[in-house]
A and B are shown apart, each in its own frame.
Chain A
Amino acid sequence: MSDASLNASLIREDDASFGDYFALLKPRVMSLVVFTALVGLLAAPTGVHPVIGFCAILFIAIGGGASGALNMWWDADIDQVMKRTKSRPIPAGKVDKGEALSLGLALSGLSVIMLALATNIFAGAFLAFTIFFYVVIYTMWLKRATPQNIVIGGAAGAFPPVIGWIAATGTMSIEPWLMFALTFLWTPPHFWALALFMRNDYDLADVPMLTVTHGRRATRKHILVYTVILAAFAIATGFTGVGGPIYLAVAVVLNSLFLKGAVEIWRRDEDICEADNFKAERSFFKLSLLYLFLHFGAILVEAVLKPYGMGGW
């Protein structure tokens, strides 16, 4: 290519770098997808060849990234008014909306076909359904229509361990759905805590977040109710096929801390929060990240130890 092709009309000072395109794939969400899908794959009773296992995780991650790019394409208007999202590549003016759409569609097709070829059709179809669910059902339809948007979005984020399991076994069973339920029930308290201390963001974007539609008092109550259900479920999972003594010990400690945090959030009023800059909400949010990582980590440890007669019950 000669410099003749770089005429003034084509030159953008903020021309996208490789990293900007990568940022469209929401790398932090992708890391959660990789980890939970890996746990689903390794907790499955049938072993997979390492190369096939690597391909499965890679294509599930690319599928997750493609959903992220399509989400950024659709939500570009609200991303530019929210402090948390206005530095994303589209609102920052580095990548065009059309480019995000093309990248998202191309990677969706690639990931679904390659996962089906590398593992089985069922896994590929389930990945396609997950992308459809996140982009069409959540992003396009329900995110701006209902205050329960977070609950629905949580379902999309909870599918990866199920896909990982199907990629390994080619069949469905109850165990991956226990992992699904763990992420699904964890998402609302995690995001509502964030909404409490990033409050102006969702107001400005006109997204019907629970804090806006039902008020902050109701959101605190919702966090507590979901945390109680989550804690009961997470501890009960310890007695199932994916659990074991290590998982149970981790679950008891983390859920006690999480419940304590939720009760504290429920008891606080806005004046106290303003005074300490939402200290309890921020630490609950941080704990929630550790919570999910350690629960899945414990499931992984149980699965890895099982062949040596140590994991599980």
Chain B
Amino acid sequence: MSLRKEHELHTRRKGRNMGVGLLLAGFVVLVLALTVVKLTSSNFTFPKMDSEEQN
């Protein structure tokens, strides 16, 4: 099967790739936002290191 320069398949795959790209970018933003909220919450404490617990 020969392909024209701009086959409909290209458009469809481009749409798919764009969709996946946007989802991944959104996921990164979401994880960042979640991290900021968790770290700035009033009941957040840093976990103690093993060496600190021994001292």
Given contacts A6-B9, A49-B37, A49-B41, contact A17 B1 (CB under 8 A): no
- Classify the secondary structure of A's interface with B: helix
24 CB < 8 A contacts A-B:
A3-B3, A6-B3, A6-B9, A8-B1, A11-B3, A11-B9, A15-B12, A16-B16, A17-B15, A17-B16, A18-B15, A18-B16, A18-B18, A18-B19, A18-B20, A49-B37, A49-B41, A51-B33, A51-B37, A52-B34, A55-B30, A58-B30, A117-B34, A118-B34
CB–CB B12/A17 < 8 A: yes
- Closest partner residue, chain A, to B31 (CB atom): A114
Nearest CB on A from B16, distance (A): 5
Interface membership of B13, Cβ < 8 A: yes
Which positions in B face A, CB cutoff 8 Å?
1, 3, 9, 12-13, 15-16, 18-20, 30, 33-34, 37, 41
- Closest partner residue, chain B, to A20 (CB atom): B16
**A3–B3 alpha-carbon span in the complex (Å):** 8
CB–CB B34/A55 < 8 A: yes
Nearest CB on A from B44, distance (A): 12
Nearest CB on B from A247, distance (A): 32
- Closest partner residue, chain A, to B40 (CB atom): A49
**A17–B12 alpha-carbon span in the complex (Å):** 6
**A11–B7 alpha-carbon span in the complex (Å):** 11
**A16–B30 alpha-carbon span in the complex (Å):** 27
In residues 8-27 of chain A, which contact B (Cβ within 8 Å)?
8, 11, 15-18, 21
- Closest partner residue, chain B, to A117 (CB atom): B34
